[in-house]
Structure 1
Amino acid sequence: MPDGTTLAFDFGERRIGVAMGETLLGIAHPLITIDTEITDQRFAAIGKLIDEWRPAQLVVGLPVHADGTEHDLTRLARRFANRLKGRFGLPVWLVDERHTSLIAESLLNEAGVRGRKQKPALDQVAAQAILQTWFEQPGEAV
């Protein structure tokens, strides 16, 4: 795992949550939610984040069923990770994201954010949980 800033993504067909953190500290922070289905707009927003934060690597959450088997969104997340690597030339890691949405909901509840108020932040807090997981146990390199 290279030292430096890391951006993490909670990939979804509608929204992509983004978090950032520093490998030296091993602490992740929610950043933004990219809310568009248009691929060019998604990658333009990611490009701006990469220009701003200058990450050493990227992390993508890999959605799987509770038993670890893959499904349609798993394939799309892998494709997204491969496109990130090809487009930005940075190392990309995949991390099992099972239960990160539950962790995100729990963190938001603890912060007093409940119900509909969670929706705008849920994806970026899920990305935070993905990145925190990666800090503790790096996944597979793309």
Structure 2
Amino acid sequence: MGLDVGQKTIGVSISDELGWTAQGLEVIKRTNLEQDLARLEDLIGQYQVSQIIVGLPKNMDGTIGQTGVLCQAFAQALQAKTGLPVKMWDERLSTQSAERILLAADMSRKKRKQVIDKMAAVIILQSYLDAHTK
């Protein structure tokens, strides 16, 4: 499972059973940590997730800013709640890449806003899968 964790939403993606491709699953509207984790637990059970990849927003110079620290804290809470391995993955420019893909598909601004976080989660997970496929 791949996650693009933001302050207002969490983009969720899932890989196929062989770990070759990532597909967008949903965008979770954030409410509070407990409910966010509960929804993710539901999806983890439904899709038999064995590992979670959380996008780590780094600055262009490689440092980790305030948003990155918040994502790390979320990842720690998720790992503690689920007991699954949670790995951080550099997500620099994933949202911009998602925006370019959706623009190229001639998607309306309203529709892009609804799916951009899910597409960013797909890019994060696919990047991880590509780096770890032999």
Counterpart of 2:128 in structure 1 is 134
SS in 1 for 2:60: coil
Whether 1:108 aligns to 2:102 is yes
Counterpart of 1:90 in structure 2 is 84
CA distance in structure 2 between the aligned counterparts of 1:67 and 1:136, rounded to whole angstroms:
23
CA distance in structure 2 between the aligned counterparts of 1:16 and 1:133, rounded to whole angstroms:
18
CA distance in structure 1 between the aligned counterparts of 2:63 and 2:108, rounded to whole angstroms:
31
* TM-score using structure 1 length: 0.87
CA distance in structure 2 between the aligned counterparts of 1:15 and 1:66, rounded to whole angstroms:
23
TM-superposition CA deviations, 1:70-102 (whole Å, max 9, x none): 110111111111111111011111100001001
CA distance in structure 2 between the aligned counterparts of 1:81 and 1:115, rounded to whole angstroms:
30
Counterpart of 1:64 in structure 2 is 58
Residue 43 of structure 1 deviates from its aligned partner by: 1.0
Change in Cα spacing, 1:128 to 1:114, as seen in structure 2 (3 Å) is same
Change in Cα spacing, 1:22 to 1:114, as seen in structure 2 (3 Å) is same
Whether 1:73 aligns to 2:67 is yes
Q: Is the 8 A contact 2:57 2:91 kept in 1?
A: yes
4+ long deviations beyond 3 Å? none
Change in Cα spacing, 1:23 to 1:107, as seen in structure 2 (3 Å) is farther
Gaps of 5+ in 1: 1-6
Whether 1:122 aligns to 2:120 is no
Q: Is the 8 A contact 1:23 1:135 kept in 2?
A: no
Q: What is the root-mean-square deviation in Å for CA atoms of aligned residues?
A: 1.3
Letter in 2 for 1:76: L
Change in Cα spacing, 1:25 to 1:91, as seen in structure 2 (3 Å) is closer
Letter in 2 for 1:19: S
Residue 23 of structure 1 deviates from its aligned partner by: 6.0
Alignment of 1:12-23 (within 5 A): 12-22=6-16
Number of corresponding residues: 132
Q: Is the 8 A contact 1:30 1:128 kept in 2?
A: yes
Residue 64 of structure 1 deviates from its aligned partner by: 1.0
